[in-house]
Amino acid sequence: MNFSTDRLITPNEILADVVEESQDYSFREHTKGWYVSQMQQCLSELSFDTFLLKLWDDFVFPAGTLALAMPANSFNIRRIYIYDGLLGSPSTQKRVRWKRNYATRGAGMDFTADNKAGTEDDPFMVPISQSTQDDIYFAEMQNGVITFSSNCASFGFVRLYFNGSLAPIGETPFVPELFRQAVKEWVMLQVYRIRRNKNPRVHRTTYMDAYNEFHRRFDGTWAIAKLRAKRIDQQMADDVKEYLSKMNIDNAGA
């Protein structure tokens, strides 16, 4: 995601606005930690909705179990590579493909999968050949664990690309300036919601107004935040357009 870390908004700056709006100067209505927790939850939801934070990291290949726990703060694996060389310095690499319902209990154990060599008697699925199966490096992700095929164990390291949350639970939620208004209004919406729960007759209309402003379909605060998260990779978008418009002229030998 493209934003400068020099333009991150601190929780206190958000608080300065939120407390002014809620008039909760002495934190009697909610504690300061509660407000900060709402900011964290807002950034998490935004991350889940837009996959805006892309991360990668290196790991030693789990040769014994063939199973690697997904990194902390990850929620969506985007790419898996295995490589040789040094940790963080790949010399040779292979891309690991996804295989449906692949499961194994570890090195030296066989596996089950929807498509497996040696199941030619299946009346509905023509299985992969043994040689192709041996040549492909594959894995399956389930319940926070990535399970690799046994041939992956010939490589020493794994590099994962994944999505993460902007603010993991417990860490200080620094807010990209792009989402400042969204986070502020999210927190206020939670304040109004609790007020409405305590006294619906007095606070219901305030909550409904805030809800509508925040969740309006196309130009609500949340919709705009999601739109921003999706459109700010401008170079990527421009380059993809350029690649596609080139139509492989060079490769065609024209």
Q: Segment near other proteins (CB under 8 A), from 34-42, 69-77, 134-142, 208-216? A: 34-42
- Residues 79-98 close enough to bind other proteins by CB under 8 A: none
If you count DSSP H runs as helices and E runs as strands, how many of each does the chain have, helices first? Answer: 7, 12
Q: Segment near other proteins (CB under 8 A), from 21-29, 66-74, 83-91, 114-122? A: 21-29
Q: Are 193 and 57 in contact (CB under 8 A)?
A: no
> Which residues, 6 or more positions from 145, have their beta carbon under 8 angstroms from its beta carbon?
67, 68, 69, 70
Q: What are the tokens at 217?
A: 């379909």
Of 5, 6, 28, 120, the one binding other proteins (CB under 8 A) is 28
Q: Kindly state the smallest distance separating residue 154's Cβ from other proteins, in Å.
A: 42
Interaction mask 147-186, other proteins, x per CB under 8 A: ----------------------xx----------------
* Closer by beta carbon to other proteins, 16 or else 86: 16
> Which residues, 6 or more positions from 49, have their beta carbon under 8 angstroms from its beta carbon?
226, 229
Q: Is 198 in the site for other proteins (CB under 8 A)?
A: no
Of 32, 78, 105, 230, the one binding other proteins (CB under 8 A) is 32
Q: Is 36 in the site for other proteins (CB under 8 A)?
A: yes
Q: Kindly state the smallest distance separating residue 203's Cβ from other proteins, in Å.
A: 17
> What distances in angstroms separate CA 42 from CA 35, 39, 173, one per listed residue?
11, 5, 9
d(CA 180, CA 215): 16
Of 26, 143, 199, 235, the one binding other proteins (CB under 8 A) is 26
Q: Is 199 in the site for other proteins (CB under 8 A)?
A: no
- Residues 121-150 close enough to bind other proteins by CB under 8 A: none
> Which residues, 6 or more positions from 78, have their beta carbon under 8 angstroms from its beta carbon?
54, 161, 162, 163
> Which residues, 6 or more positions from 15, have their beta carbon under 8 angstroms from its beta carbon?
32, 35, 36
Q: Segment near other proteins (CB under 8 A), from 35-43, 71-79, 82-90, 134-142? A: 35-43
Of 1, 8, 13, 34, the one binding other proteins (CB under 8 A) is 34
Of 2, 10, 31, 132, the one binding other proteins (CB under 8 A) is 31
Q: Are 158 and 147 in contact (CB under 8 A)?
A: no
Q: Kindly state the smallest distance separating residue 24's Cβ from other proteins, in Å.
A: 11
d(CA 144, CA 124): 31
d(CA 134, CA 140): 16
Interacting residues toward other proteins by CB under 8 A = 26-28, 31-34, 36-37, 40, 169-170
